[in-house]
A and B are shown apart, each in its own frame.
Chain A
């Protein structure tokens, strides 16, 4: 089989490529250039491209670099900033997978004559019975099935995830055994186009330049101002930290406060107690299915962040009802739906800023 493998310059994709070469496939590596001119840190930095290229050399495969920076801006960076500006929670990695890796790169792979696109994601793809089934990776702590939950059958049929059956330790061991230079390379950071916190282009610095950040009032359910935040745009529903000093006496101070709603237009964050965050239902937009749509009434597991806890629920029209009241999902956040360890679909948590 002719396989295009997406090489990020990290250890997982390096080993993915190596496994495909070992299996006798005709393998070509490709690195997406998504961001920045010649930055030296973060995703698709020049150093990462060099690592990817040298791994390809070590494996004896051809390597190309594709410039998808326009699409990255359109589908990932722009929406990321827009979500913050609207008080919603963005999913940059998911949108990158949806629009860049498994759309533009996958499409290119097809046009160039490749039978499949492989990546280094920690998730398993099983093909028993001809239907690709996306399952959690063998390494529970590194499972990345959540960020792949937006894929459909059309994509999954042409995708290979060679390292999904290995633990991270096993991946590193393979890389070491093969003498790959990426064997000990550190994990990539959370959002690849942001610099580490505290530097000029961290989340706050980046968003300040893009959308402007605005101080806001922290109010309780009655509308009474109980504190302030430096940037409303940086607050996520469910967040506890950074919501200003707790008002009141010692007794009250021990009660933790959570963001219940973010209203960027009103420059306001509504806070309350943890119990006020509990909901029975999560309304979902932009629903996707990895195969056929599951009917309402189907039991599912609901996961609202990359390594969050999966909660029991049942599909209902427009969303999912939780078996037990659970913490609200921040508007904008991706919700992955599982049956057991199989991903069956996804949706984006609905909700308008300022209230539910």
Chain B
């Protein structure tokens, strides 16, 4: 690598005349908070010792890790011994799904709009998939019909990563306890901590996935909350050590844990203010998009987290709009990026009843803790010309 050349180039391309990128892709990854970086730097510089060691440097590392874990536990509403640190959301989700299945067997039930980190392993293990309604919320009646005493894992995400819908996890928990008493309830809460009180929202769940880089922390660190009682239902994904209560062997990522703890604390502390501020920006953005002919997904906007403005411009392929937006210094996304970097039509939208063609028109603007009114205005200023150039939104196109 030549001195971070690629990163500098990307940033310079983004600058285009000294204007910073209007970053509206926070749901993909959100900037690291300055206090996170500051807390992590000493760990990276001097925290080389392995926390499992017996010497003083190891004890120092262990103490950093313990304090980080306690802080994370407090913000997630669990005991420190219930926090299993992982490499991030994908690992947490896989540990939940595969870990429970490996130890407990039985059948699995997941929603159709789960992140692929839940959906793919679950499908591989023969999971039953519960449908969602047109707004993306799980169909509780359909879920009820899928539950029986043989079910060992139910996974329903807290906040959808694409359309931002908040799922009725509490009601799912109640239903599972009544109809599938042997089942463990997992929720992927990766998209939630900036917007919701995750501790309260997931209090009834046995397993909760979170990741640091979606809330102002670094990449490469996340956690799976494994509540007392659920531990016995799980096996680790790999062997080779006793770290993380035996559920996640491997030398701990101390700096990552510290960064995640600081980020989660900041997110928790600032949440009400951020929700109020960003919520106003999102509404301004969503109203502006609608005024340009964009269609919001069915359902109330209030049912989606305030960081999410998901729309489609009839007649405009999202891939083309994103490319032009990129040239204008606006970063957004669509669908789910595949290994090659292309955008595939979103399985979330097709589960909501959209045609593949309509799904190809969907664009996801997601706001975060650094989003400013300037970002929103910049997008709204460049969009009309781009949509017109791409020949979109002429007549009314019926939503699919």
Contact = CB atoms under 8 A, between A and B. Distances in A.
Nearest to A32: B342
B356 interface: yes
A111 B320 contact: yes
Interface residues of A toward B: which range? Answer: 20 to 34
B389 A38 contact: no
Contacts of A201: none
B118 to A, nearest CB: 17
B391 A37 contact: no
A291 to B, nearest CB: 28
User: Chain B at the A interface: mostly helix, strand, loop or mixed?
Assistant: mixed
Interface string A57-69: 1001010111101
Contact of B339 (A38, A60, A70): A38
Which residue, of A31, A60, A65, has the highest number of chain B Cβ atoms within 10 A? A65
A112 B320 contact: yes
B6 interface: yes
B323 interface: yes
Nearest to B322: A64
B320 A67 contact: no
Contacts of B343: 67
A64 B320 CA distance: 10
B49 to A, nearest CB: 37
Interface residues of B, number: 20
A53 B339 CA distance: 13
A38 B338 contact: yes
B341 interface: yes
Nearest to B389: A111
B13 A62 contact: yes
Contacts of B64: none
Contact of B391 (A64, A69, A111): A111
Given A111-B390, A111-B391, A33 B342 contact: yes
A67 B342 CA distance: 5
B323 A64 contact: yes
B389 A113 contact: yes
Interface in A84-133: 108, 111-113
B344 interface: yes
B324 interface: yes
B340 A46 contact: yes
B319 interface: yes
10 contacts: A38-B338, A44-B340, A64-B341, A65-B341, A65-B342, A111-B320, A111-B389, A111-B391, A112-B320, A112-B324
